Amino acid sequence: MIGHIEWALMRPGRLDRVIFVPLPDADTRREIFALQFRNTPVHPSVHLKDLVTRTERYSGAEITAVCREAALQALQEDITAQQVNAGHFDSALNTVRPRIPQTLLQTYANYQREHGGPRI
């Protein structure tokens, strides 16, 4: 098995190509946070640049989960909370961890190298 892809699926006629979608880069992570912040009142103590740096190996879904977890932390602390602060994000980042291991990323990179396609 390659990561989560069963090799039997790779026989001719099943799947024509394996396309690796890389984890979001810093600009993309910044954009994901910006989109999430549109619907969440964020305290000025929250620094977008810091969050982008701290979410280096996070997927887009994991970044979204961090934002939701931070909002939940704020509400658990005070049901009438008006803003999500940096402490809530710190707590959320301790709860929501990146799930894609480096070994799996390397497996996909090796597969792309061996079977053609764009390099990652």
Q: What's the predicted TM-score (pTM) here?
A: 0.77
Instruction: Provide the pLDDT confidence category of residue 65 given band limits of 50, 70 and 90.
Output: very high
pLDDT at 114 over 90: no
pLDDT value, residue 115:
74
Which three-class secondary structure string do you get for the chain? CECCECHHHHCCCCCCCCCCCCCCCHHHHHHHHHHHHCCCCECCCCCHHHHHHHCCCCCHHHHHHHHHHHHHHHHHHCCCCCCECHHHHHHHHHHCCCCCCHHHHHHHHHHHHHHCCCCC
Top-confidence residue, 9 or 91: 91
Report yes or no: 97 and 4 within 8 Å, Cβ to Cβ: no
What's the rounded mean pLDDT across residues 73-95? 97
pLDDT value, residue 59:
95
